[in-house]
Structure 1
Amino acid sequence: MNRFPWNNSVLLILALAVGGAGGYWLAQQAQVQAPLASAATESKPLYWYDPMVPQQHFDAPGKSPFMDMQLVPKYADAANAADSAPAVRIEPGIQQNLGVRLASVARGTLNRTLQVTGVLAFNDRDVAVLQARAGGFVERTYSRAPGDVVAAGAPMVDVLVPEWAAAQEEYIALRHAGEPALIAAARQRLLLTGMPSGLVQEIERSGKVQPVTTLSAPIAGVIRELDVRPGMSLVAGAPLARINGLGHVWLEAAVPEVQAAGLQVGQTVAARLPALPDRPVSGTLASILPENDQQSRTLQLRIELPNPDGQLRPGMTAQVSLGLTGRREVLQIPSEAVVRTGKRNLVMLAEDQGRFRPVEVRLGQENDGLVAVLQGLDEGQRVVASGQFLIDSEASLKGIEARTLDESKAQMTVPSVHEADGRIVEITAQGLTISHGPFSTLGMPGMTMTFALARPELAAGLKTGDRIRFGVSQGDAGLVIERVRKQEQQP
């Protein structure tokens, strides 16, 4: 007979309760210890290795038995860093159906030629004004009208100036008296009344009073204003006509402020007019106006074009080609690859195994379908040039956000490609033998060694003795050259 009247069911319930409590305690301890164990695992290297013999692993740091250098640690988080970044994965067949097209991030010289449209205008620096120098009356206007083209010295208007007639009579009378001092004083009086010197000479030659004076065009050009009619009276200083010269015309054009860097006053400008398709015109950038248009965000240019035959007429349109100074090599991608959100610029970076992720970039000059990338991408990477908006929408639906440039810079502790300077010693089928300087990001000193090529075309155009800047990546096969750029040879 049992001393305790507990049946088997009660004992089973107690056992389950004790086991559950113990399991809960163990689970809590596991949750507490897991981050610590994970942190310890991440901070501890998996092994050490020689970059030239990466397949050989060592359990402790030290000097490499193969090369005169220290072993490099390999961390677990570094091995999985590429897989940890969130990305959109698309199968190759689906990429083809979506029309996804990739473009490489390449280094080159951006063609800095700006094409804009301009309009011809009058040259406001070549203007002459015809005025009445004394009060009088208009006798004749020679049938002139605004818009007429006149030559220099062409008659414009005949005026009768009573004051001039009286002074002329006095001058002629003194000439008959034969007193030189009085004659000189009278002649000077004619000039002081505003009488043109040509008219004074005509009076001296003819000896007759010239009551009506013909006022002529001071320069050749087009009549812009003509405020004179037959029979009207004039006051001294009244403007009669305004003439604009046509020897040079202005070509006024607007350039986006983001593309204006590199323009210089005095540089040569090429222009083509639809009205004169077989006649290209070369001019000079006369000035860059100091005020920026706040509506269109453009700078106004004033280009001076020669017009010896008068065929360039204000109001005509022209296509302007502006060469920008300061050419230099930059990273560049197709402009169509950029997704412009209004707040920042993004590209869809293509990775291995059909993975795509958004990356923020900082852009520079843009021209001829290409845009310079100042920050955010490396040479040799690939971006989506067509179909990027579909991938960007998918990334947004999955909550995949592009890191800001500051975040990306802070997380780039170890670059994927390590660069150094060197000189080519030999080119073989196995790769390039290079006498190189130290790889600062690898902790690897300078030496002479042979590197395999990631792609055979990297050796195109290279020869023994060339000085190069090259980048290598680490893999199971050792250090492999990913990019090569020739440098200027030292004298």
Structure 2
Amino acid sequence: MSRPAWSVLVLAALAASILGYGAGRAPSGALDLWGKTRALLGQVPAADQSTRNDPGVGPVVYYRDPDGRPAYSSEPARTADGRNFLAVRRSADLSFDDPAQPGVKEARASGRVLYYRNPMGLPDTSPTPKKDSMGMDYIAVREGEDEPGVRLSPGKLQRTGVRSTAAERRVVAMAVRAPGVVQLDERRVSVVALRSDGFVEKVENVTTGDRVRKGQPLLQLYSPEVSAAAAQYLTGLGIEGARRRLENLAVPQEAITEIERSRRAPTSFTWTAPRDGVVLARNAVEGMRATAGEALFRIADTSSVWVVADIPEADLARVSVGQEASVTMRGLPGRTFIGRVTIIYPQVEKVTRTARARIEIANRDGALLPDMYAEVSLATGPKAEVVAVPDSAVLDTGARRLVLLDMGEGRFEPRDVETGSRGGGWVEIRSGLEAGEAVVTAANFLIDAESNLRSALQGMAHEAEASP
């Protein structure tokens, strides 16, 4: 059936704008520009022989090479051997598909007709020739044309932009990203507190934020109970019970050693820092009365900290203890800290639907401060190489996942696959595909649509043949 006449007019108008219809232009130049015009319109090849011999009716639109070569002119022209170009009139058909290869069209025409399909692509077939409601003939489908998959002409491949890529073996890793907050390592926090009532006589020059060393003096303290225990220790020096009482009152070892050396009970004692770290809080004030259990200093070792990340519930299965994590800070641009997941808390927040994962990170220079905002990235997926294809190659229908194999020569065949991990624009293929097989990565939805239409038509045709 002939193409709409307006398609020819569009070609003519575009050719006229390019050629300018200037007087005195050489036909050879016109041919070159007209060929470029056709290239811009999708590399439209010449019409087949039946159209070439059709004189048509109506005004002449353009002139073309008598042998069907891609040579055109807006005015009468001749070939190199002196033959006239053929006039193409407005009613003449124009083929937008590639011409069939020699012998292919004849071979298909000689095959047995299997069924007739609707010319408008509707899911309607007939075992006998018929016309649709608009009087258009149904198209015959012959043997060889209903082979599995889809076959597209080179022209169609070019116009639809079909591209293929070979499946390859590679590592597929997907990063789980989550926000986090820096927290102190709970095992590295100490509190300086008394086990008996006392009075603070002197506080050393130590304030909040200062770094202290283990054994560094913090304050001078007088405690009647501690003084009585020291006097009892001197009275029965060497008695294990008296020494144990001093230790139970948390008297520093240095103070007990000084009692043994000087053999006298001091009126006040020096309390020292229990560990290296940063003073987080100083509550001691000279002259104050300190009750038993009251925290006078709070000291934390920040050489190692935690980053607690909120992992989305959907990604929780891909996070495990011992997994390496990369942590960046908004307040420390350009720096990346590496740690490992040490624990995943056994609870999911009801509102945010996230679970907390704890990551231990070394902080020897003290750059990481408590409550800093962190961005956590956890690499997940198989560590070994797997068969993978680009994301765009997989068609996911919900119930099944498939790829379109490029069989060459314009043939494409759908194949079901089982997918695995995703990451970096690639999808792991666990089964259904081998490395090196070419799959369609662009325009695969168009091919899949045509394949589904052909499958539906074939199924309806077989049902029609089986019915009486």
Quote the offset at 1:111 in angstroms. 4.5
1:244 alignment counterpart? 300
1:202 match: secondary structure: helix
SS state at 2:365 partner:
coil
Mapped partners of 1:221, 1:289: distance in 2 = 27
Cross-structure match for 1:103: 165
Q: Write the distance in 2 (CA, Å) between the matches of 1:382 and 1:258.
A: 32
- CA 1:133–1:342: 2 relative to 1, 3 Å: farther
More strand by share: 1
1:384-419, CA deviations, whole angstroms, 9 ceiling, x for partnerless residues?
3234455567778x5979xxxxxxxxxxxxxxxxxx
Partner deviation per Cα, 1:420-458 (whole Å, 9 max, x = no partner):
xxxxxxxxxxxxxxxxxxxxxxxxxxxxxxxxxxxxxxx
Which runs of 5 or more residues in structure 2 are unaligned?
Answer: 1-141, 457-468
CA distance in 2, matches of 1:365, 1:157: 59
Is the contact made by 1:164 and 1:211 (CA closer than 8 Å) also made in structure 2?
Answer: no
Shift of 1:364: 0.9
Conserved? CA contact 1:138–1:233, under 8 Å? yes
Q: What is the rounded CA distance, in whole Å, between the counterparts of 2:322 and 2:420 in structure 1?
A: 25
Aligned to 1:59: none
Match for 1:166: what amino acid? Answer: A
Following TM superposition, by how much is the alpha carbon of 1:214 offset from its aligned partner in structure 2, in angstroms?
3.5
User: Is the Cα–Cα contact under 8 Å of residues 324 and 378 in structure 2 kept in the other structure?
Assistant: no
- Residue 338 in structure 1 maps to residue 394 in structure 2: yes
Q: Per-residue deviation at 1:108?
A: 1.3
Check if 1:168 corresponds to 2:230.
Answer: yes
CA deviations over 1:308-359 (Å, ceiling 9, x no partner)? 332344426366574866525x321012333445555444454556465765
Q: Retained in 2: the 8 A contact 1:262–1:325?
A: no
CA distance change for structure 1 residues 111 and 180 in 2, over 3 Å: closer, same or farther? closer
Q: Distance in 1 between matches of 2:454 and 2:420?
A: 28
Equivalent residue, structure 2, for 1:408:
none
Q: Which runs of 5+ in 1 are unaligned?
A: 1-78, 402-491
Structure 2 partner of 1:130:
192
> What per-residue deviation string (whole Å, max 9, x for no partner) do you get for residues 270-316 of structure 1?
66767667776554553455557788887755443333332344426
Q: In the TM superposition, what whole-angstrom CA distance separates every residue of 1:21-76 from its partner, at most 9, and x where no partner exists?
A: xxxxxxxxxxxxxxxxxxxxxxxxxxxxxxxxxxxxxxxxxxxxxxxxxxxxxxxx
- Superposed CA offset, 1:223-262 (max 9, x none): 4455555555433233444433222223445677888889
Q: Which amino acid aligns with 1:132?
A: L
- 2:278 maps to what in 1? 222
Distance in 1 of aligned mates of 2:145 and 2:313: 39
Q: CA–CA distance in 2 between the matches of 1:216 and 1:164?
A: 16
Cα drift, residue 216 of structure 1:
2.7
Residue 390 and residue 153 in structure 1: after superposition, are their counterparts in 2 closer, same or farther (change >3 A)? Answer: farther
1:327 aligns with 2:388: no
Measured after TM superposition, the shift of residue 363 of structure 1 is 0.8
Is 2:376 aligned against 1:286?
Answer: no
Partner AA of 1:161 in structure 2: S
1:250-265 alignment, distance < 5 Å: 250-252=306-308
Matches within 5 A, 1:81-480: 83-85=146-148, 91-104=153-166, 106-112=167-173, 114=175, 116=177, 119=180, 120-140=182-202, 142=204, 147-169=209-231, 171=233, 174=235, 186-207=242-263, 209-224=265-280, 228=284, 232-252=288-308, 283-287=339-343, 301-314=357-370, 315=372, 317=374, 320=377, 322=379, 327-328=384-385, 330-340=386-396, 344-350=400-406, 354=410, 360-389=416-445, 398=453
Using a 3 Å threshold, how does the CA distance of structure 1 residues 377 and 80 change in structure 2: closer, same or farther?
Answer: farther
Conserved? CA contact 1:248–1:305, under 8 Å: yes
**CA contact 1:259–1:366 (8 Å) conserved in 2:** no
CA contact (8 A) 2:149 2:414 kept: no
Q: Does the residue aligned with 1:246 lie in a helix, a strand or coil?
A: coil
SS across alignment from 1:128: strand
How far 1:102 sits from its partner (Å)? Answer: 2.1
Counterpart residue type for residue 384 of structure 2 = R
Partner of 1:75: none
Q: Give the whole-Å Cα distance in 1 for the aligned partners of 2:369 and 2:454.
A: 59
User: Given the two structures, how large is their TM-score scaled by the length of structure 1?
Assistant: 0.49
Alignment of 1:53-68 (within 5 A): none
TM-superposed CA distance for 1:107, in Å, is 4.1
TM-score (ref. length: structure 2): 0.51
SS of 1:83 mapped into structure 2: coil
Deviations 1:153-212 (A, max 9, x none): 34444443221233335555x3xxxx757x776545433444233222223444554333
State the 1:135 CA deviation: 1.8
Q: Which amino acid aligns with 2:225?
A: E
Q: Distance in 2 between matches of 1:257 and 1:327?
A: 26
**Alignment check: 8 A CA contact 2:149 2:451 kept:** no
| Compared CA separation, residues 296 and 189, structure 1 to 2 (3 A) | closer
* Secondary structure of the corresponding residue to residue 200 of structure 1: helix
Within 2, Cα distance between the matches of 1:211 and 1:393? 94
The question of whether the paired residues in 2 share the 8 Å contact of 1:136 and 1:159 is answered with: yes
Change (3 A) 1:301 1:192: closer
Q: Is the 8 A contact 1:263 1:324 kept in 2?
A: no
* Alpha carbons 1:333, 1:371 under 8 Å: kept: yes
Change (3 A) 1:266 1:344: same
Distance change in 2, residues 1:299/1:374 (3 Å): farther
The one-letter amino acid paired with 2:146 is D
Amino acid at match of 1:127: V
- Residues 449-479 of structure 1: per-residue CA shift (max 9 Å, x gap): xxxxxxxxxxxxxxxxxxxxxxxxxxxxxxx
CA RMSD of aligned residues (A): 4.7
Q: What number of residue pairs does the alignment pair up?
A: 314
Q: Secondary structure at the match of 2:199?
A: strand
Amino acid across the alignment from 1:217: A
Shift of 1:373: 1.1
**In 2 relative to 1, CA 132–381 (structure 1 residues): closer, same or farther, beyond 3 Å?**
same
Letter of the structure 1 residue corresponding to residue 302 of structure 2: L
Secondary structure at the aligned position of 2:306 is classed as strand
Confirm or deny: 8 A CA contact 1:129 1:243 kept in the other structure.
Answer: yes
Q: Pick closer, same or farther for the CA change 1:247–1:144 going to 2, 3 Å.
A: same
Q: 2: CA distance between counterparts of 1:400 and 1:229?
A: 87
